[in-house]
């Protein structure tokens, strides 16, 4: 019971973070990125690209959050949350290697994304997949 509550809390919190950030990028991208010192301006092409990524993050985060309330979606939501946060963090590390170091704020965001992704990955390792739980899959 306790692990189920922890999983639900993890999915809800990581989902809310994604909904907040994805929603901000989707609906107010220039203002959101300005808080990190990034100037988007009014270039329609750049805004379109940024909003698309924000919309994808928003949609994925809704699925993650839904996993906190719909038990049969919990495993999928946990996989999605793990992939989402680890891919953002590792992509930023690739950017640092290829482009140089970003602002201190963005380095902190990278550490946060990797930490959240690793917490999700740990939860994933400790949770059996639906197929394994039912005894339908062979290792």
% pLDDT > 90, the chain:
86
pLDDT tens-place string over residues 81-129: 999 999 999 999 999 999 999 999 999 999 999 999 999 999 999 987 5
Phi-psi region of 38 (alpha: psi -120 to 50; beta: other; left: phi over 0): beta
Q: Which residue has the higher pLDDT, 136 or 42?
A: 42
Q: What is the pTM of this model?
A: 0.88
Q: What is the pLDDT of residue 130?
A: 59
Q: What is the pLDDT of residue 72?
A: 95
Determine the Cα angle at 35 with ends 80 and 18, to 5°: 15
pLDDT tens-place string over residues 17-28: 999 999 999 999
- Rounded to an integer, the average pLDDT of 45-53 is 97
Where do the structural domains in the chain lie, given as residue ranges? Answer: 2-128
Is the distance from CB of 44 to CB of 37 less than 8 angstroms?
no
Residue 20's nearest CA partner among 74, 47, 58, 49 is 58
Q: What is the pLDDT of residue 3?
A: 76
């Amino acid at each position: 019971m306790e692990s189920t509550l922890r999983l639900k809390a993890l999915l809800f919190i990581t989902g809310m973070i994604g909904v907040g950030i994805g929603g901000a990028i989707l609906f107010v991208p220039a203002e959101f990125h300005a808080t990190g010192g990034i100037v988007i301006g009014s270039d329609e092409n750049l805004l379109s690209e940024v909003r698309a990524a924000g919309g994808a993050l928003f949609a994925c985060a809704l699925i993650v959050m839904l996993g906190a309330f719909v038990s049969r979606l919990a495993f999928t939501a946990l996989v999605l949350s793990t992939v989402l946060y680890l891919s953002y963090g590792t992509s930023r590390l690739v950017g640092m290697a290829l482009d140089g170091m970003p602002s201190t704020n963005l380095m902190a965001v990278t550490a946060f994304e990797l930490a959240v992704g690793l917490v999700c990955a740990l939860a994933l390792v400790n949770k059996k997949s639906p197929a394994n739980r039912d005894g339908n899959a062979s290792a």
